[in-house]
A and B are shown apart, each in its own frame.
Chain A
């Protein structure tokens, strides 16, 4: 039996990131992987002459769904029920987990096979199943690597992105035999051989399992059709072979019609894996007698989503189709990897979605996430549903700061208040500049400051800082009448023009 690890107890981002940055193997694995997917995505998106229209269309469809969520969900429930599925509603993770455990127990199984699903990771379903004595076998190759390696996912699409193939080989050789068919002793790190070992290991489980658990990428409201988009065929095995299928789906996954679905099926594979068309797209509508699972359950979960919906700036995050393009281009994510975010949703989308699902002002690690970005905007550029992630990051920073107002002001709060006072009048700024000019003469040698005490050591530990010049721009302007008075003595600044930054 495998015991699933969780993100509980991950230190806050700056601390976790520091440790990750020191791991040279991680750095090189992440750099290679993100650049490969990033380049592939850019190539195939570049082939579309209507990408901007498509992504705006996708955003509009999702916004319509969010504005009329209740109506679309009821429509989906009605269609699903008509097609023979059982619809369950879960307010939070505990309710959703209980529903799945109860169904599995009713069928007296001690194992389920799983299609890769972010919703079930979010609610930590595997932990709940294990507690009930039910093994949850992940069947996606990368999820299998994470599960066998007693590891945590670091990417929503490629959860083992932080591992390279020789590490994968070691995990397979060491772990597969403990939970099923072992890997062959002579296994090499050739990707095809590794995939073959996974296929043999998983086949045994596919053939045996009576209950499968999946998520869904989309629910088509008017027909009650669930859609799973995957690349390995493991999903289709899980969705067709077992007798019972339980799908755990976030309430924001609904799209109105198949015509709307078509927009997303163009955008998702290109944005996610850089493929023009998705390899395995499975769709099913309730129960088909004599074909596939004869008992179909759909568990619709809120788990914080209505809270996100109530935030008028943040609600655009509910458009997310979990493609991961934002993490693949993020310069922060590329360097830290996903674990530092302490959440099943890492990277730029995780930095906005996780704090909104959990709520800000509660714990330090969650509050650190909106600040885990340089606001470079690369994520917004690639997002296929046009989520303005930098805008939401800044909005959430405000919420974090507001949630801590009223107590004893911290150093940053005091600095911001002081800066606000200084920067309200040009005359106050001029005074501050004269003081800075004096301090620069004390601190700076050859125009550079090498070491400052905390918290400014956070700058000077690794970077030089220019010493403030003796004369500010406004000082020069008023002394020389904007440079028109050629008789004014030239300002004496340390260093020459173009040599001070």
Chain B
């Protein structure tokens, strides 16, 4: 199986350690993951901001970069959801039947990380070790748009040494919302402040999520409060092992 890593533009630019963790994790599980360097961005930021025509070249780039892979794995629920729910809208807007066909063929092979691990590889225990108190923010796009259900939770519970603690009102949005964070900064921060409070109330040392965008927002508030809670992407905990931990 030829597996391509769609690292996402945000992780590529801001959080390379997440992409590196996915590579380590998948190699450990016997998957020789490849990174096609033609890839850029899913185009969600453009579509969600109302700039659909501007997303057309991005979707084209995505399809061209990954068309030759049997499976594409993305460490982002939000970007995977954009591929699944928005790429066909963008392709149809382009009026290009080849792009519509390309999207239709590729989209079913694109997976969010926890989906890929549980559904495609069929593993729950990935052999990780992480002896810390952790709470999970399920993220709206993973849970509502992709319906990943308890996959992230099951993967985390199988990690040796980990202590999972409940996050109060976990299913409520953190308030990031892409350009919402800039267009409606006050509401975004009000939502994020409540999320950060719940993270502190959980007593966790580490907040984990499947999306660095949400984590960037929540961490930005936690560090302002000197809350002393780390944030980590799901891939980073699943990649962690005894020697490194």
**Which A residues lie at the B interface, using CB under 8 A?**
13-14, 17-18, 21, 331-332, 335-336, 370-378, 380-381, 394, 397-402, 412-413, 416-417, 419-420, 422-426, 429-430, 432-433, 436, 448, 455-456, 458-459, 461-466, 468-469, 471-478, 482-483, 491, 493, 497-501
Closest residue on chain A to residue B62 by CB atoms: A423
Surface stretch bound by A, among B49-57, B114-122, B160-168: B49-57
Other-chain contact of B19, A371, A426, A473 (Cβ < 8 Å): A473
Distance in angstroms from B193 CB to nearest chain A CB is 8
Closest residue on chain B to residue A313 by CB atoms: B89
Distance A17 CA – B184 CA, assembled complex (angstroms): 8
The 8 A CB mask of B106-127 against A (1 = contact, 0 = none) is: 0000000000000000000000
Task: State whether A429 and B40 are in contact (beta carbons under 8 Å apart), knowing that A21-B190, A412-B49, A500-B17 are contacts in the complex.
Answer: yes
Distance A375 CA – B144 CA, assembled complex (angstroms): 10
Q: Is the interface of B mostly helix, strand, loop or mixed?
A: helix
Distance in angstroms from B73 CB to nearest chain A CB is 14
Closest residue on chain B to residue A420 by CB atoms: B54
Does B35 lie within 8 Å of A482, measured CB to CB?
yes
Does A376 lie within 8 Å of B177, measured CB to CB?
yes
> B152 contacts the other chain (Cβ, under 8 Å)?
no
Does A398 lie within 8 Å of B50, measured CB to CB?
yes
8 smallest CB-CB distances across A and B, nearest first, come from A374-B177, A463-B220, A401-B50, A397-B50, A376-B173, A377-B144, A473-B16, A420-B54
Distance A460 CA – B190 CA, assembled complex (angstroms): 14
Distance A376 CA – B189 CA, assembled complex (angstroms): 15
Other-chain contact of B16, A413, A423, A493 (Cβ < 8 Å): A493
Closest residue on chain A to residue B188 by CB atoms: A374
Does B145 lie within 8 Å of A458, measured CB to CB?
no
Does B52 lie within 8 Å of A377, measured CB to CB?
no
Distance in angstroms from B115 CB to nearest chain A CB is 17
**Which B residues lie at the A interface, using CB under 8 A?**
7, 9, 11-21, 23-24, 34-35, 37-41, 43, 45-52, 54-55, 57-58, 61, 65, 86, 140-141, 144-145, 171-173, 175-192, 206, 212, 215-221, 223-224, 230-232, 236
Does B236 lie within 8 Å of A498, measured CB to CB?
yes
Distance A455 CA – B179 CA, assembled complex (angstroms): 12
Distance in angstroms from A399 CB to nearest chain B CB is 8
Closest residue on chain B to residue A403 by CB atoms: B50
Other-chain contact of A463, B190, B221, B230 (Cβ < 8 Å): B221
Closest residue on chain A to residue B130 by CB atoms: A498
Does B145 lie within 8 Å of A423, measured CB to CB?
no
Q: Is the interface of A mostly helix, strand, loop or mixed?
A: helix
Residues of A contacting B206 with CB < 8 Å? 498
Distance A432 CA – B24 CA, assembled complex (angstroms): 26
Task: State whether A483 and B17 are in contact (beta carbons under 8 Å apart), knowing that A401-B50, A498-B230 are contacts in the complex.
Answer: no
Listed residue (B7, B86, B219) with the most chain A CB atoms within 10 angstroms of its CB: B219
Residues of B contacting A476 with CB < 8 Å? 16, 19-20
Residues of A contacting B179 with CB < 8 Å? 371, 412
Closest residue on chain A to residue B55 by CB atoms: A420
Does B185 lie within 8 Å of A331, measured CB to CB?
no
User: 26 A-B contacts, Cβ less than 8 Å apart?
Assistant: A17-B184, A332-B184, A375-B180, A394-B47, A412-B179, A416-B51, A419-B45, A420-B51, A423-B41, A423-B43, A426-B37, A429-B9, A429-B12, A430-B37, A461-B185, A463-B220, A464-B219, A466-B216, A468-B13, A477-B35, A482-B23, A482-B34, A498-B230, A500-B14, A500-B17, A501-B212
